[in-house]
């Protein structure tokens, strides 16, 4: 997988679009439009990755076992 991001071809939405179409946009990101750029009103833009895409790009930057720890915590929070 290509690690560099071609910002000229990244799926981009405004903050208002992201807020009003949250589920549809997340589905699009999970189905291959990762990463996506959310242009925020305060100009502190956000990049959203599909989970597997994020880990394939940046997983080696974290210590061994960190992915498992994060995923376990997500499951715990999801079950509360």
What residues does each domain of the chain span?
11-78
Q: What are phi and psi of 54, to 5 degrees?
A: -60, -50
pLDDT category of residue 2 using cuts at 50, 70 and 90: low
Give the pLDDT confidence of 46-55 residue by residue, as tens digits: 999 999 999 9
The per-residue pLDDT for 4 is: 81
Q: What is the SS3 assignment for 13-72?
A: EEHHHHHHCHHHHHHHHHCCCCCEEEECCCCCCEEECCHHHHHHHHHHHCCCCHHHHHHH
| Whole-number CA gyration radius for the chain | 14
For the domain covering 11-78, report its CATH number: 3.40.1620.10
């Amino acid at each position: 997988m290509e690690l560099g991001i071609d910002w000229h071809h990244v799926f981009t939405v405004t903050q208002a679009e992201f807020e009003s179409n949250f589920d549809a946009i997340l589905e699009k990101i999970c189905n291959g439009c990762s990463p996506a750029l959310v242009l925020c009103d305060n100009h502190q833009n956000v990049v959203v990755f599909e989970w597997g895409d994020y880990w394939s790009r940046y997983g080696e930057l974290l210590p061994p076992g960190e992915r498992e720890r994060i995923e376990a915590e997500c499951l715990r929070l999801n079950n509360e």
